Chain A
Amino acid sequence: MSGTITIFRREFAAYFNSPIAYIFIIAFLVLNTGLFMTGFFLAGNADLRSFFGNLPIFLIFFIPAVSMRLWAEDKRLGTFELLMTLPLKASQVMLGKYFAALAFYLVALAGTLPLPIMIATLGNPDMGALWSGYFGSALLGALYLGIGTFTSGLMRDQISAVILGIMACFMIFVVGIPGVAATVDGWLPGFGSFLQNYVGLSSHFEMMLRGVVSLGDLTYFLGMTALFLTLNALWLEGRKY
């Protein structure tokens, strides 16, 4: 546990040791709140649905850029060998890194909190849907980060890591779209709906935006995240042979 915390502290500080962190956060806030505010006064609805609705697509690009350095950077610097010869389990090191990236994402997400405050001042929003929307966004980021951490481990350089991460996140997103599922069902009956329900994230995320947090959706997000982190840990162990 203390080993994981040590790694977490180092990795979290590493984000803020370079200007990239600030650029990331500013880009995240400007693009997301900017997009939201453009439509906000036209629509005149006191909710954040369009803001949350954009996140699954926006994060496909943002999250792999956050996670790309997690392993690829260590391989470039040679510190990978240091980390893997510390008296810590590979999974402890991995969790330290993963939670540092997650904390960084949550800092960026927390930067959008003035939006619900503004909406609560201007209108009478459904606070339940607002909070479940934030909760869902945190889970969405956690899942993408799990994928991004895994792809960063597979690659030696950050550019390959980010591209592979974007493709993997895109796949998880795209198979959840009803139109895509219907097309796949046309080729292989049942397979498209299976992917949509058990692999794709759209339906699970949608429910959270409506203010419904069900055990099934929670299991989906946490289970998928755990799956990719387990794959990462297995890869770290298997690498020795």
Chain B
Amino acid sequence: MIEVRGITKSFGTMLALDDVSFGIGRGEILGFLGPNGAGKSTTMKIITTFLAPDSGSVTVDGIDVLEKPLDVRGKIGYLPENVPLYLDMNVHEYLTFVGRARGLEGVALRDRLDWCVEACGLVTEYMKNIGELSKGFRQRTGLAQALIHDPEILILDEPTSGLDPLQIIGIRDLIKSLAGSKTIIFSTHILQEVAPVTDRVVIINEGRIIADGKVDSLSREAMGGVRLYVGLSQDSETVESSLRSLAEVSEVKPLPVENGCRFELLGPFTTDLTRSVVDLARNQGWDLTELHEAPFNLEETFISLTKRADDGRKGVA
């Protein structure tokens, strides 16, 4: 649906994007991750035709953003990072304005207004001036604006920034409810926000894509293996050394626990670590109380990936 191929963009002497490529299929949700200033917004501005890349190309549903920007804009609903609101209008006037500017009128416009106001939870604020709305409602008004023309593609730049936890869940649920029917790219620098919504992420740092894929496989790859938690009801000196003796285990870390003992094991993800531990426990007659693989969370992955990317670049230099 969206193909980004080798785009580069610089502002003055600052290189904002350096050979960025990724793609997203129809109906897919993509979490676009990266620290502040990594180039997330710039990439989104290029996809939405607000900015043009210095080199490289972007196609949306097969249409080049530079050749036919108006056709591309018609397909996209866009929520920029700074929510674009006219503070002197009320929610109704504002959404009507955006709807009309996007070519809706009459019954079609009314139907979309009703749907957006309902879906974005704006019913109570509908006739209020946008200048009087709280941050959360402003964000929702911005989201309603992006949805007004029922676009095939949604591009949301930090849709949950500055919201309280309940509002974040609200926006998240809304995005999830649109899954399947729309192609969605949303950016965030808060990693925990991605997992509940999607498992496909693209991670960008200092203008370069450093990872692209499913969260699970990215984590395994980034951390170089799997992590296992093992708990036993009995405590014994020999347990730790037995675990260490396993060929597949690269690291054993004892963890504090009230009864018995508990360990964190690390091993390469190519081996079946769980199997080996189960076999060992059977042979030794251990009473296992806990045994599960713990996926690495996004923070750990992210830190490891950015560090690796930095090291890589220094190595080249």
Contact = CB atoms under 8 A, between A and B. Distances in A.
A240 B53 CA distance: 8
A88 B103 CA distance: 10
A86 B76 contact: no
B84 A7 contact: no
B63 interface: no
Given A85-B50, A240-B51, A17 B88 contact: yes
A198 to B, nearest CB: 35
Interface string A1-28: 0110011011000100110000000000
A79 B85 contact: yes
A3 B83 CA distance: 22
Interface stretch (B94-102, B115-123, B307-315): B94-102
A65 B82 CA distance: 26
A86 B54 CA distance: 22
Contact of B84 (A3, A14, A78): A78
B73 A86 contact: yes
Interface of B, secondary structure class, is loop
B145 interface: yes
A81 B80 CA distance: 7
Contacts of A86: 73, 98, 101-102
Interface string A120-135: 0000000000000000
Contact of B100 (A6, A14, A82, A241): A6
B101 A78 contact: no
A87 B73 contact: yes
Contact of B86 (A14, A81, A240): A14
A6 B84 CA distance: 17
Contacts of B83: 78
B102 to A, nearest CB: 6
Given A89-B70, A240-B50, A241-B52, A81 B84 contact: yes
Nearest to B149: A87
Most chain B C-beta atoms within 10 Å of own C-beta, residue among A77, A86, A87, A241: A87
Interface size class of A (residues with CB under 8 A): 20 to 34
Contact of A10 (B70, B73, B87, B97): B97
A84 interface: yes
Contacts of A82: 78, 80, 84, 98, 145
A89 B70 CA distance: 7
Contacts of A87: 70-71, 73-74, 102-103
B185 to A, nearest CB: 14
A84 B70 CA distance: 10
B88 A3 contact: no
- Which of B51, B73, B88, B89 has most chain A Cβ within 10 Å? B88
A78 B50 contact: no
Contacts of A241: 52, 54
Nearest to B103: A87
Interface in A87-105: 87-89
B70 A88 contact: yes
Contacts of A18: 88
B89 A17 contact: yes
B48 interface: yes
Nearest to A241: B52
A85 B85 contact: no
B89 A2 contact: no
Nearest to A79: B84
Across the A-B interface, the 7 shortest Cβ-Cβ residue pairs: A78-B82, A82-B84, A17-B88, A87-B74, A79-B84, A240-B52, A6-B100
Interface of A: 2-3, 6-7, 9-10, 14, 17-18, 77-82, 84-89, 240-241
Given A17-B88, A78-B82, 14 more contacts: A3-B101, A6-B100, A18-B88, A77-B84, A77-B87, A78-B80, A79-B84, A81-B50, A82-B145, A85-B50, A86-B98, A88-B70, A88-B101, A240-B52
